[in-house]
Amino acid sequence: MPRLVFRRLPARYAGVAMPFFLSVLMTFVVSGISTLKALGPTIAFLQTWPSSWALSWIVAFPTLLLVLPVVRRLVALVVAPPA
């Protein structure tokens, strides 16, 4: 059976790839929950969720890129470095 092989990004892109995937997954879940709460399990939910998710992601990804350095510093203040 052939194995699927794809090229990986160089390590220098980790600082963008991590917030990218985090923002995709988090906005998917949060927009899904809030849209479901607002509309209930209806056809309207299925029609509305994709645009709600897209708008959430458009805001979340650049926000993560901007705040991640601050969050890293805050975490370093409250978490002891490894021994």
Give pLDDT, residue 6: 84
Residues in the chain: 83
pLDDT in tens, 7-32: 899 999 998 999 999 999 999 999 99
Quick check: helix, strand or coil at residue 31?
Answer: helix
pTM here is: 0.79
* Residue 34 identity: S
2 band by pLDDT with thresholds 50, 70 and 90: confident
